[in-house]
Amino acid sequence: MYDMYHEDLLDEAKNPNNYGDLVGADVTTTQFNASCGDVITVAIKLSADKTKIEEVKWKGHGCIISQAAMSVLSEKIKGYDTSKLQELTKEQILEELGLPQISMGRVKCLLLGLSAVKKIL
Amino acid sequence: MLDTSKIKLDFPILSRQMNGKGLVYLDNSATSQKPQTVITAITEYYMNHVANVHRGVHTLSDESTHLFENGKTKIAHFFGAKKQELIFVRNTTEAINGVAYGWGEHNLVAGDVILVTVMDHHSNIVVWQELAKRKSAQLIFVGVTDSGTLDLIDLEKKLEQFGEKVKLVALPHVSNALGTVVPVTKVVELVKRANSQTRILVDGAQSAPHIPITFTKIGIDFLAFSGHKMLGPMGIGGLLVREELLKTNEMQPWFFGGGMIAEVHESHTVFHDDINERFVAGTPDVASVVGLAAACEYLENLGMQAVLEHDISLVNYAVQELAKIENVILVGPNFESNSLLNSDIKNPERVGSVSFLYKGVHAHDVAQVLDSQGIAVRSGHHCTMPLHTSQHWIATTRASFQVYNSKEDVDALVLALKKVREVLL
Ligand SMILES: Cc1ncc(COP(=O)(O)O)c(C=O)c1O
């Protein structure tokens, strides 16, 4: 058993990046985790030609994994081409979080934010 | 208490190491582990007795048929039901669907009312939502009190309000999220007083493993259960239907095909004249029936009264010890007072499980830390989203018990819960 809850991960969840409201968002999406009631809402501002993500803010509640994952994801997708969002993978988020793996039961937690983000497409 | 040091040896899986520690399995409400006798019964069937039942003349088919029929007799007996009242299904969910299709489709009309409770498992909600849609019937929820018990006053009120429109009351015997025991006898009394024709379905998924049940005596019409939660194999469960409903055809087959027929003509079919055989469409899961019969036998050998007493002591001990942990907030009966429960064996308030919130930590994270200590619990809303929503709980952590669990297992849980603080807070 690796030490899953390492310091950086806990910190990421406790002090998440880009948490809050976004005034003048172009798109807002929400994703629920039906098995535990966790929820994440993502608000995004796009470039004038709608091809790039300019601003990201998010809100929600959930476990450490879902919150930390959304935090790193929100950093990663700033300035991102919307056309490339589809290519974001579970492995990339795990890497960002410094986790070598995750159990089947937690995959939904890990991907809650990503599912919300992909909904803007 | 049962002699768990001996009982544990009957369950091969319990000798496994989990993350470097001995496995402490406290996820029994989700599914229980299986004793060697059950595993052996299934293997033995597959090694020596396989043949299709009923239709064969040869010796092997005769053996298989005997094993199947004897198994069925044993299982029906375990529930204090007549053999012809037992219909095999895969699990509780399928049993409840069976009532919707075999009874609801034929007995409900537009405007009728189905009563369920806020603490029901999704299996006992979604099935009725869908039936209500098909029939333009209404699905009404009976509430739960602030102390996590069924709100009997609300039940009475709704029975009165909807009167003869109430065709079915479907409710759990034991809540899988709270451990609350629903006073079925009292419910039956209230329902029958309001309208003797109203049918009652009890979801016995969480009571069958812990509480002795005499189906013919409790005055209900349907009882659903899953074999896998009571030490039996996955893939087998039962629906008990009061004989009268089968005799009068109020309850009808909902699966059709071979086995359940008497005559098949191009223009029509005559169903089997045996009120129970009519419900056996296709080849049954003989091995699982044999396995479940072995599970019933295992529980009977321990004695269901002793099983219940054992469970109540564990639940009480867990409530007492968990209440002492800072940040742990128990939910379910008596959670405000955190006082010792009524351990009246005839009227237990809480059976099977203890659920709790951990201040400042999400249930999944609690469960993950416990797992690293070799302790298996469940986290989430345990398929009771309406209950969690009504109580404004996001997710809870649940420890649930079986005959092999001991006070030491509860101690291990308590110790590991203290670790949650160290790791996460
Ligand atoms: C109260 C209750 N009802 C129904 C079910 C569904 O059982 P199964 O999944 O075996 O159909 C469960 C299982 O968790 C339960 O606890």
Distance, CA B226 to ligand 1 centroid (Å)?
Answer: 7
Please give the residue of chain B at the shortest CA–CA distance from A102.
B368
pLDDT at B342 over 80: no
pLDDT at B222 over 90: yes
Q: Which residues of B are catalytic?
A: 383
| Cβ atoms < 10 Å from Cβ of B259 | 19
pLDDT at B358 over 50: yes
pLDDT of res. B57: 87
Q: CA separation (Å) from B372 to A2, A5, B52, B377?
A: 9, 11, 45, 11
Interface test with B, best of A35, A40, A107, A111 (most B CBs within 10 A): A35
pLDDT of res. B344: 58
Residue B369 at interface with chain A, using a CB cutoff of 8 Å: yes
Residue B180 DSSP class: B
C-alpha span between B9 and B4 (Å, rounded) = 9
Q: Which residue type does B151 have?
A: D
pLDDT of res. B340: 45
Contact call for B381 and A36, based on CB within 8 A: yes
Domains and CATH numbers, chain B: 4-30+303-424 (3.90.1150.10), 41-298 (3.40.640.10)
Where is B367: in which H helix or E strand? helix B363-372
pLDDT of res. B339: 45
Q: Which of residues 151-210 of B touch A (CB under 8 A)?
A: none
Residue B395 at interface with chain A, using a CB cutoff of 8 Å: yes
In order along its 121 residues, chain A shows pLDDT tens digits of: 457 899 999 999 999 999 999 999 999 999 998 888 899 999 999 999 999 999 999 999 999 999 999 999 999 999 999 999 999 999 999 999 999 999 988 999 999 999 999 998 8
- What tokens does A47 get? 């470039």
| Pocket lined around ligand 1, Cβ cut-off 6 Å | B 29, 91-93, 121, 123-124, 172, 176, 203, 205-206, 226, 383
Residue B425 at interface with chain A, using a CB cutoff of 8 Å: no
Distance, CA B237 to ligand 1 centroid (Å)?
Answer: 11
C-alpha span between B144 and B129 (Å, rounded) = 19
Where is A94: in which H helix or E strand? helix A90-97
- Out of B20, B369, B381, the one facing A37 most closely (by C-beta) is B381
Q: CA separation (Å) from B321 to B263, B310, B352, B367?
A: 62, 17, 16, 18
pLDDT at B54 over 50: yes
pLDDT of res. A2: 54
Polymer length in residues for chain B? 425
Burial bucket for residue A87 (CB in 10 Å: 0-12, 13-18, 19+):
exposed
- What is the mean predicted confidence (pLDDT) over B292-305? 98
Does domain A7-120 correspond to CATH entry 3.90.1010.10? yes
Residue A63 at interface with chain B, using a CB cutoff of 8 Å: yes
In total, the C-beta contacts within 8 angstroms joining chain A to chain B are: 49
Residue spans per domain, chain A: 7-120
Contacts of B266 by beta carbon, 8 Å cutoff, 6+ apart: none
Categorize the per-residue pLDDT at B423 as very low, low, confident or very high, splitting at 50, 70 and 90.
confident
pLDDT of res. B394: 84
Interface test with A, best of B17, B362, B370, B420 (most A CBs within 10 A): B362
pLDDT at B337 over 50: no
Instruction: Provide the b/e sequence for B270-299 (b: ≥16 CB within 10 Å).
Output: ebbeebbbbbbbeebbbbbbbbbbbbbbbb
